[in-house]
Amino acid sequence: MTSLIIDQDTRSVRLDGQEVTLGARAFDVLHYLSQNADRVVTKEQLLDQVWAGSLVEDSNLTVQIAGLRKALGKEAIKTVPGVGYKFTLNAMPDAPAPTSKGLDVPTIPSLAVLPFANLTGDEANAYVVDGIVTEITSALARVSAFFVVSTTSTFTYRGKAVDLAQIGQELGVRYILEGSIQKAGNRLRIFTQLVEAKTARMIWQERFDGTTEDIFDLQDTVAESVAGAIEPKLIWAEAARAQHKPTESLAAYDLCMRATPLVMRQNTLSDLEEGMALLDQALALDPRFDRAKGLYCFAHTGSFATRWWPFEKAQAALPVAQSLLDSGTEDAFALAAAGHYIAYIGQDLHKGLIAVKRAYALNPNSATVCLLLGWVYNYLSEDDDAIMHLQRAARISPVHPNIGVTTCGIANAFFQKQDLKRAISYYEEAITQYPEFASIQLGMIGCYWKLGDLEKSAQMAAWFRNKVPDMSVATFLQTRPHENAFYRDAVIGALRANGFPEG
């Protein structure tokens, strides 16, 4: 049996005769858990005991628990979903636990939303906590790229002492979303965090504040924000996981995941070309893989928006985009990527709009779908709708890998509304977020020129000329998707003023 000695007087810990170095908070958490090893200790009790009743973020406690598990072993402290933790280091099992291989983890991103801990101090608020969990689960279940376990299964873990790896194995999921709710007066504070089940590695966390005055609006807001933020985080986490797999064993999905960060944000021409090579391999393995086809369209859209490729080369994905539109796919990302590509590169705005609006109906909580829909409204000069969807994309996923594209779209819409000062403020923000996205510089050339700031317009023109030496007024007219006359005339006037040729 493991020997653990906790000395409160000297604030020291020895495990099997070896001294364990712990911080002050971690020691306090361990001491309180060990003194109450006969029961489950709620998160609220731990927060009150260790942080003296202060309103602190749930993640502070999570960090201390993770540190203790690392120091003492992951079996030392069990998670009790929806309640808190139980100290189990020296606990003797009632009977040998049956061995179970567990469920196979799906190839697509898979997650379970555990019951949130009710830290409000009132069991009457349990329905609020469960309602938020149910709404979040429903919102995530609408993302066809995810496998989401229903609350019927996840709620069975309430009150049971388990570790996250065990839950991941039993439910067959790679990721787990957990959280808690605190209450002060009529104000609610909701903490959420996404972790990798096997390693307990935190991938994302967020805090939400609201009131009890309209609890259903709060549930909707939290659900859409969590779903919007988790979608890109999970895709990026899966991409990182795929990068560590040996090349010989990659299937179409893994190739697709490895390509994702390369083609979604094309920082260099080599990134684009490497990502395209991976997508070509994925589609060779599975020509009907909608996610890969959607990324293929997205890559070709970005290839021209960043001006890594000329317009003619970017048109190569037209048959793939059309096949997605014809297939009746319910993959919201693939449908939105194809629809936006048809609108931008295919220059069929209304066909593209229909496709992206259908994608939005399939998954309104996808920041990527929102930003693509916002851009199509941009092209149609439906500027208020463009701003609404782009700002929503930024709100539900403020750290989205394509946030610079979102910000640029808002700038373009204000440009078209002739609100030039506000447009410039968004353009200047966008260029810090994604400097290689050449559509930003093109807009700034016209906007600065229209404002009379010829020096800055010339600076942007020099950057653009260096990247696109054959840029001309005719090229702009032939390739622009925007219907707005004010935007068109301003950019043409700025191109001419900065010495770009007519054709």
Which among 419, 475, 410, 478 has a CA at the least distance from the CA of 451?
419
Burial 425-463 (b: 16+ CB within 10 A, else e): ebbebbbebbebbbbbbbbbbbbbbbeeeeebbbbbbeb
- HSE-up of residue 267 (Cα within 13 Å, Cβ side): 6
List, in sequence order, the alpha helices (H) in 2-42: 24-35
State the amino acid at position 320 in one-letter form: V
| Token couple for 7 | 């000395």
**Is the whole model's pTM more than 0.75, yes or no?**
no
Residues of the chain with CATH 1.25.40.10: 246-363, 384-503
User: Counting Cβ atoms within 10 Å, is residue 485 exposed (0-12), middle (13-18) or buried (19+)?
Assistant: exposed
State the amino acid at position 370 in one-letter form: C
Torsion sign (Cα): 266, 268, 269, 272: negative
Residue 134 pLDDT: 82
Cβ contact 29:50 at 8 Å: yes
Residue 26 pLDDT: 85
| Token couple for 78 | 């069990």
Instruction: Give the 3-state secondary structure of 416-485.
Output: HCCCHHHHHHHHHHHHHHCCCCHHHHHHHHHHHHHHCCHHHHHHHHHHHHHHCCCCCHHHHHHHCCCCCH
Torsion sign (Cα): 43, 45, 47, 50: negative
CA–CA separation, 49 and 64 (whole Å): 14
May I ask the CATH architecture of the domain 110-243? Answer: 3-Layer(aba) Sandwich (3.40)
User: How far is CA 297 from its chain centroid?
Assistant: 20
Torsion of CA 37, 39, 41, 42, to 10 degrees: 170
Query: CB atoms < 10 A from the CB of 345, how many?
Result: 24
User: How far is CA 498 from its chain centroid?
Assistant: 39
Residues of the chain with CATH 3.40.50.10610: 110-243
CA–CA separation, 262 and 474 (whole Å): 31
Cβ contact 342:359 at 8 Å: no
Taken as a whole, the chain contains a residue count of 503
CA–CA separation, 112 and 92 (whole Å): 29
For residue 35, give every residue at least 6 positions away whose Cβ sits within 8 Å of its Cβ, in sequence order, or none: none
Residues of the chain with CATH 1.10.10.10: 4-87
Torsion of CA 285, 287, 290, 293, to 10 degrees: 90
User: How far is CA 306 from its chain centroid?
Assistant: 22
State the amino acid at position 116 in one-letter form: F
Residue 245 pLDDT: 47
Cβ contact 170:102 at 8 Å: yes
> Mean pLDDT for each 10-residue chunk of the chain (503 residues)?
78 84 86 84 82 66 81 82 80 42 68 86 76 81 75 79 82 87 82 84 82 75 76 69 45 82 90 95 88 94 94 96 90 94 96 94 85 96 96 82 94 97 96 94 96 96 94 94 94 96 91
Hey, what CATH class is 384-503 in? mainly alpha
Residue 99 pLDDT: 40
Q: Given phi > 0 = left and psi -120 to 50 = alpha, else beta, which region is 360?
A: alpha
Torsion of CA 49, 51, 54, 59, to 10 degrees: -110
CA–CA separation, 352 and 347 (whole Å): 8
CA–CA separation, 5 and 53 (whole Å): 28
Torsion sign (Cα): 19, 20, 23, 28: negative
CATH of domain 4-87: 1.10.10.10
CA–CA separation, 222 and 331 (whole Å): 23
The single-letter DSSP state of residue 116 is: P
CA–CA separation, 131 and 154 (whole Å): 14
CATH of domain 246-363: 1.25.40.10
